[in-house]
């Protein structure tokens, strides 16, 4: 018999045992779990997790996070875990992400029409064993350098984060977005989860890790200003970030990108990423 229950601190091990079976499409869930456990006090990376449990093992989970995102890994009992994780919750819904079919089905369960979402995509999942990483020649020769940002670059990078969210995520450039982008940047700087590609001491591209585990990292936003595109900077900043990760003992990288973003796909393939055959749903309100 399957039961649905809200997970509590102390349930971390049983949840990780389930998520690791779906490692590539569970990076956000696993990274957040590792960062803060199963606390749900409205702080960054915290959320309410509802799981389906059969014979003492988790077989599905949905989490509603501090920022309004619903993240899924529910190959079964989808409706039950989605409704349970939202029950009595006061925080709103910002979006849904997880395996593509689950995301589409969850949006219908919640009565949300596709046209209500500013972004509603089935994105291509890519994976790379870091032993197979191809490092662009410019990084090898030192013509360009990938490193952590320095303080006097943060104002520029805030502008880049805003531009990325407007272009890639359909956000509006508002004072609220700018304030949130500055906060995001400060957190990334503290966590050392973002990287600058620099040419002649000038930043030319930027990327982030949006989920990290000891053995695997997930590439998040990648940004090259429009006037600098076509120079291979995107693949170089990602490769440089992954060289750093590899030195820390990370073995594998994952990412997902829009099927319509052919330049991004080409950049990722050029440094060794391969499509996994899976699709990742990204629906944002």
Whether residue 258 is found in the same domain as residue 146: yes
Q: Evaluate whether residue 122 is within a structural domain.
A: no
pLDDT confidence band for 119 (50 / 70 / 90): confident
Q: Evaluate whether residue 233 is within a structural domain.
A: yes
The mean pLDDT value of the chain amounts to: 94
Give the pairing of strands 216-223 and 95-99.
unpaired
In angstroms, rounded to a whole number, what is the distance separating the alpha carbons of residues 217 and 6? 27
Whether residue 99 is found in the same domain as residue 155: no
Say how many C-beta atoms besides its own lie within 10 A of residue 2's C-beta. 12
pLDDT confidence band for 30 (50 / 70 / 90): very high
pLDDT exceeds cutoff 80 at 276: yes
Q: Which one-letter DSSP state was computed for residue 139?
A: H
* Per-residue pLDDT tens over the stretch 188-220: 999 999 999 999 999 999 999 999 999 999 999
pLDDT confidence band for 108 (50 / 70 / 90): very high
Whether residue 149 is found in the same domain as residue 246: yes
pLDDT confidence band for 90 (50 / 70 / 90): confident
Q: Which whole number is the average pLDDT over 92-104? A: 94
User: Residues 160, 162, 167, 168: is their CA dihedral positive or negative?
Assistant: positive
Report phi then psi at 43, rounded to 5: -90, 160
Whether residue 167 is found in the same domain as residue 261: yes
Q: Which residues contact 60 (CB under 8 A, 6 or more apart)?
A: 51, 52, 73, 74, 75, 76, 77, 78, 80, 81
* Per-residue pLDDT tens over the stretch 159-183: 999 999 899 888 889 999 999 999 9
Looking at per-residue confidence, does 91 or 255 come out higher? Answer: 255
Whether residue 159 is found in the same domain as residue 48: no
Looking at per-residue confidence, does 111 or 88 come out higher? Answer: 111
Max alpha carbon distance in the chain (Å)?
Answer: 63
Take residue 97 and report the two structure tokens written for it: 């992400």
> Of the residues 117, 150, 183, which one is the last residue of a structural domain?
117
Whether residue 93 is found in the same domain as residue 17: yes
């Amino acid at each position: 018999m399957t039961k649905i229950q809200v997970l509590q601190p102390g349930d971390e091990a049983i949840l990780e045992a389930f998520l690791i079976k779906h490692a590539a499409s569970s990076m956000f869930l696993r990274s957040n779990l590792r960062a803060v456990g199963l606390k749900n006090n409205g702080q960054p990376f915290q959320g309410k997790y509802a799981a389906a449990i059969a014979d003492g093992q988790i077989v599905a989970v949905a989490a509603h996070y501090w920022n309004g995102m619903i993240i899924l890994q529910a190959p079964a009992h989808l409706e039950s875990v989605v409704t349970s994780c939202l029950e009595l919750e006061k925080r709103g819904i910002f979006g849904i992400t997880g395996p593509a079919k689950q995301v589409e089905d969850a949006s219908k369960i919640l009565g949300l029409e596709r046209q209500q979402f500013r972004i509603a995509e089935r994105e291509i999942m890519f994976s790379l064993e870091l032993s197979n990483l191809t490092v662009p020649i410019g990084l090898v020769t030192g013509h360009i350098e990938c490193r952590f940002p320095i303080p006097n670059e943060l104002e520029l990078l805030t502008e880049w984060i805003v531009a990325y969210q407007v272009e890639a995520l359909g956000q509006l450039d508002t004072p609220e977005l700018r304030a949130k982008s500055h906060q995001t940047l400060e957190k990334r700087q503290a966590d050392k989860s973002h990287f600058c590609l620099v040419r002649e001491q000038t930043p030319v591209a930027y990327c982030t890790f949006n989920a990290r585990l000891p053995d695997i990292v997930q590439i998040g936003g990648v940004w090259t200003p429009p006037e600098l595109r076509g120079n291979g900077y995107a693949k170089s900043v990602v490769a440089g970030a992954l060289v750093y990760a590899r030195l820390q003992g990370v073995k594998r990288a994952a990412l997902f990108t829009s099927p319509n973003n052919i330049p991004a796909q080409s950049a990722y393939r050029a440094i060794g990423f391969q499509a996994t055959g899976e699709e990742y749903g990204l629906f944002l309100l």
